[in-house]
Amino acid sequence: MKIQGRGVTLAAFLVLLCGVSAAQQISATKERSDDQRLSFQTHAPWSPRTNLNGDVVMSYGIDPGLPANLASWRARGYRIQVMTGVAWGEYQDYLYGRFDGKNHWDQAQKDRNGKLVQHGVDVPYISPGMDYGNYLTVGIKRALDAGAEAVYLEEPEFWARSGWEDNFKREWKAYYGEEWQAPDSSPDAQYRASKLKYMLYRRALAQIFDFAKTYGQEHGRTIRCYVPTHSLINYANWRIVSPESSLIKVGADGYIAQIWTGTAREPNYYKGVLKERTFETAFLEYGAMQNLVRASGRRVWYLNDPIEDNPNHDWEDYRTNWESTLTASLMQPEVWRYEIMPWPERIFNGKHPVKSVFVSTKWVKEQEQVPVGTGLGGFGAAPDVEKVGIPKAYETELQSVISALGDMKQSEVHWDSAGTENLGVLVSDTMMFERADPSPSDAALGSFYGLAMPLVKRGIPVEPVQIESASARGFLARYKLLLLTYEGQKPPTPEFHTALAKWVREGGALVVVDKDEDPYNAVREWWNTAPNSFKSPRQHLFSILGIEPDATGLHRIGRGVLVSARVSPAALTRAQDGGESLRQLTRQAATAVNLPWKETSALVLRRGPYVIAAGLDESVPDAKPHVLHGHFIDLFDARLPALTSVTLGPNVRSLLIDLDFRKHDRMPRVVAAACRVRDERASIHKLSFQTDGIADTNAVVSIATSRKPKEITIGRKIASREQYDFSAGILQLKFNNSPDGVPVEVVFEQ
């Protein structure tokens, strides 16, 4: 999320931090739960307009006002942690030699024309040498000395178009024992360049992780290190190489899954049509990030952004796309930690067009020079366009949803409506290695979407499954059917094939869709290096499975089955009937292992009292819309209306409170609130609580109760008739939010 300017160097930033004692990190007035379920990042101090319902503030603003910023958040009870960029930053003291007496501009990424690949003026993406890791480590030590609880090392990114800088040439010779080759000179050179880029950032982060863990041991503290990163799917789509899955093995305690409208609205092909499919893309991106940590038990936070880095869309565009990404994130029930937003100051204080301005969907990272400090993430603001601040209804809706996000750790979870479960599409970090000249894989990442999108569109909750984790004990056991292609990616080790073959023989259904035309099949790798001599990694897999190298159709293998088709998944995305062709192969495999096949035009997941629902377009032909019946409160409506039915037509997204979930509870209780509710105390005849929220916004609180209110006080004043409504067992209160707190008390009739 690269959208804010930085004012001083990392070293200077951390010197400023040294004035903050460890004892000051947690305010005694409003100490938060160690669960740390909700976080957000900001470069600004606390303000009444950014008083968020979060546990952790990740300080990310390197400017002279930093000490005051930290003190302001601490005084309001937030846990203080530190985030900094890894691949880029205002690290001019390092680049110009002020850090160690050496000029390091030879570590700035360059493309084949010798042009710097920059995040901003004087802010290049770094090609990290060993001394770069040392530089970051020295700065991190100063932060830890100051009492920082955790470190977030954001976005280790090496561009696929980079690799011509002097440092990379030196690292190539050291790593491969041969002279550097231009990455675009052959598929083999491009693949090897990407492997090296992957290693360099893994090495740099490992240096920092190792230091932080050792520091913690020496000081009797637990220092956790997290990596905020885009998904593998997005990085491959945007042609970026990042160490992704390997970071768990070198000390990362988890990730922030940086998925938001800007990544999820990237167009893809389905049935020959290229368009934005924000919900489906986000569903797959969030699933990929969750899959990364499942084998390790580490933490992952899901990012949600109520707007995006492109400032030229209107508020309604932002809101509808945010609802799509949020709905997709909530359909991964193993995750219940969220970064509720980045940069709240740009959301609650910023202005955007009344109507969206046409702009290219291409991400800013393809720009060569982006001025830092614009707050635009590289997108230029459209001139002469009327702009307005955030709508009041959107302010209220956001606060209602944030309150619900803090309650998503639920034990009762099940799909109410979904297609066949326990399906996965196998993906590898090597998907990032085949994205540049001379033979880039499909520009719209069709090799992946050709397998995944036809299933999601029919309500099948398919999950990207990380190949690098497949050998972990029991990792594949949850899946009944897996899809695989080596078009656009390759297996990093032969051990994956051993684990996959074992899974098939024990009853799994494997669908392999591959035309064997990927030029990267010929790169110098383990499948074609002695003692192996296979033309493609797929042929090695088939030999492990005990079938002919060019076999097609259905094959019984132990208790499982293989279905093989010589088809390009990317080609399927361009064909009007491509989705159905893929589903036919998948249904054939499912039938062979007695896995019931089901399709639906809506996904509905229940998490305790919460109902998360999405109606799908381009879905089951002639399907009637799925209808939910019951008693609900709609959190995607600022009015928090009570509903008895919800129709899930195409592209409808819903986040609902099921009022029947605790219908036998006799005590009055708050069930939804566009504010933070604390100190809730209830008896049969009385309910009291304290609220706080964002200044100049409207609070709406819904209370479930079977008794009529007798007396209501809000802010120690008797509520006016316009401030409340009681109907059908719901008492709704309306008042002005305050960051300083509003006490509420309701006395009910006997």
Q: Which candidate, 163, 151, 124, 134, places its Cα nearest to that of 241? A: 163
Structure tokens at 621: 């032909």
d(CA 500, CA 420): 21
d(CA 118, CA 696): 39
What was the pLDDT predicted at 104? 97
d(CA 581, CA 570): 13
Instruction: Report the b/e string of 700-720 with b at 16+ CB within 10 A.
Output: bbbbbbebebeebebeeeebe
Same domain (yes/no): 586, 444 = yes
Q: How far is CA 525 from CA 52, 172, 192, 294, 496, in A?
A: 50, 17, 10, 28, 14
**The pLDDT of residue 180 is above 60:** yes
Same domain (yes/no): 396, 483 = no
Q: Mean per-residue pLDDT for 486-492?
A: 98
Percentage of residues in the chain with pLDDT exceeding 70?
A: 91
What was the pLDDT predicted at 520? 98
Structure tokens at 122: 């004087």
Residue 383 lies in a domain: yes
- pLDDT tens for each residue of 233-288: 999 999 999 999 999 999 999 999 999 999 999 999 999 999 999 999 999 999 99
What was the pLDDT predicted at 65? 56
Residue 547 sits at the vertex; the CA angle it makes with 546 and 549, to the nearest 5 degrees, is 120
What was the pLDDT predicted at 364? 36
**The pLDDT of residue 408 is above 90:** yes
d(CA 483, CA 587): 12
Q: Which candidate, 227, 153, 243, 237, places its Cα nearest to that of 194? A: 243
- At a CB cut-off of 8 Å and minimum separation 6, what does 698 contact? 392, 395, 396, 638, 674, 734, 735, 736, 737
Q: Is the peptide bond before 491 cis (omega within 30 degrees of 0)?
A: no
Is residue 388 a contact partner of residue 687, using CB atoms and an 8 Å limit?
no
Same domain (yes/no): 531, 500 = yes
What was the pLDDT predicted at 296? 83
d(CA 310, CA 364): 9
What was the pLDDT predicted at 82? 84
Q: How far is CA 82 from CA 54, 70, 147, 328, in A?
A: 15, 10, 10, 28
What was the pLDDT predicted at 110? 98
What pLDDT band is residue 120 in, cutting at 50, 70 and 90? confident
Between helices 315-330 and 278-294, what is the axis angle to 10°?
Answer: 40
Q: Which candidate, 213, 83, 57, places its Cα nearest to that of 139? A: 83
Structure tokens at 32: 């938060």
Of the candidate ranges 212-221, 299-308, 354-363, 596-605, the one whose mean pLDDT is the lowest = 354-363
Residue 723 lies in a domain: yes
Same domain (yes/no): 510, 565 = yes
d(CA 370, CA 79): 32
Last residue of a domain, one of 394, 410, 426: 410
d(CA 285, CA 325): 10
Of the candidate ranges 65-69, 193-197, 211-215, 642-646, the one whose mean pLDDT is the lowest = 65-69
Q: How many CA atoms lie within 13 A of 313 on its CB side?
A: 19
Same domain (yes/no): 268, 325 = yes
What was the pLDDT predicted at 664? 81
Same domain (yes/no): 704, 561 = no
Query: How many domains is the chain partitioned into structurally?
Result: 4
What was the pLDDT predicted at 8? 37
pTM for this predicted structure: 0.93
The domain that holds 468 is classified in CATH as 3.40.50
Residue 551 lies in a domain: yes
What was the pLDDT predicted at 74? 83
d(CA 41, CA 153): 13
Residue 295 lies in a domain: yes
Same domain (yes/no): 99, 227 = yes
Q: How far is CA 245 from CA 25, 221, 428, 566, in A?
A: 31, 26, 9, 29
d(CA 338, CA 329): 9
DSSP string of 532-574, one letter each residue: ---SSHHHHHHHHHTS-TT--EEEEETTEEEEEE---HHHHHH
Tell me how crowded residue 477 is: count the other CB atoms within 10 A of its CB. 11
Q: How far is CA 671 from CA 70, 333, 656, 739, in A?
A: 33, 20, 11, 21
Q: How far is CA 634 from the centre of its chain?
A: 24
Same domain (yes/no): 201, 248 = yes
Round to the nearest angstrom and report the end-to-end CA distance of the chain. 54
The domain that holds 373 is classified in CATH as 3.20.20
Is residue 581 a contact partner of residue 572, using CB atoms and an 8 Å limit?
yes
- pLDDT tens for each residue of 670-721: 999 999 999 999 999 999 999 999 999 999 999 999 999 999 999 999 999 9
Is residue 40 a contact partner of residue 57, using CB atoms and an 8 Å limit?
yes
**The pLDDT of residue 446 is above 90:** yes
Percentage of residues in the chain with pLDDT exceeding 90?
A: 81
What was the pLDDT predicted at 381? 56
d(CA 749, CA 108): 71
d(CA 340, CA 40): 6
**The pLDDT of residue 33 is above 70:** no
| H helix intervals, 537-690 | 537-545, 569-574, 578-592
Residue 2 lies in a domain: no
Q: Which residues pair with 471 in a beta bridge?
A: none
- DSSP, collapsed to helix, strand or coil, labels residue 591 as helix
d(CA 417, CA 605): 7
| DSSP category for residue 298 | -
Q: How far is CA 643 from CA 474, 637, 639, 685, in A?
A: 43, 11, 12, 26
Residue 664 lies in a domain: no
Q: Amino acid identity of 133?
A: G
**The pLDDT of residue 599 is above 60:** yes
Is residue 334 a contact partner of residue 294, using CB atoms and an 8 Å limit?
yes
Residue 5 lies in a domain: no
3-state secondary structure 382-411: CCCCCEEECCHHHHHHHHHHHHHHCCCCCC
Cα-Cα-Cα-Cα dihedral sign, residues 61, 63, 65, 71? positive
What was the pLDDT predicted at 444? 98
Is residue 482 a contact partner of residue 425, using CB atoms and an 8 Å limit?
yes
Q: Where are the beta strands (DSSP E) in 61-205?
A: 79-85, 118-120, 123-124, 150-154, 158-159
d(CA 161, CA 550): 35
Q: Which candidate, 387, 386, 238, places its Cα nearest to that of 307? A: 387
What was the pLDDT predicted at 662? 87
Same domain (yes/no): 234, 381 = yes
Q: Which residues pair with 417 in a beta bridge?
A: 604
What was the pLDDT predicted at 63? 46
Q: Mean per-residue pLDDT for 580-605?
A: 98
Structure tokens at 564: 């093989």
Name residue, tokens 């008492």.
731
**The pLDDT of residue 23 is above 80:** no
Q: Mean per-residue pLDDT for 16-21?
A: 34
**The pLDDT of residue 152 is above 60:** yes
What was the pLDDT predicted at 591? 98
Residue 662 lies in a domain: no
d(CA 103, CA 93): 9
**Greater pLDDT, 85 or 288:** 288
Quote helix, strand, coil % in the chain, to nearest 5: 30, 25, 45
- DSSP, collapsed to helix, strand or coil, labels residue 657 as strand
Q: Mean per-residue pLDDT for 186-199?
A: 98
Q: Mean per-residue pLDDT for 215-227?
A: 94
Same domain (yes/no): 20, 35 = yes
Last residue of a domain, one of 592, 613, 640: 592
Same domain (yes/no): 502, 607 = no
Is residue 509 a contact partner of residue 481, using CB atoms and an 8 Å limit?
yes
What pLDDT band is residue 530 in, cutting at 50, 70 and 90? very high
Q: Domain range for residue 616?
A: 602-656
Average pLDDT, the chain: 90
Q: How many CA atoms lie within 13 A of 7 on its CB side?
A: 11
Structure tokens at 590: 């499912």
What pLDDT band is residue 411 in, cutting at 50, 70 and 90? very high
What was the pLDDT predicted at 363? 33
What was the pLDDT predicted at 144? 77
Same domain (yes/no): 254, 138 = yes
What was the pLDDT predicted at 26? 26
What was the pLDDT predicted at 504? 98
Last residue of a domain, one of 342, 377, 410: 410
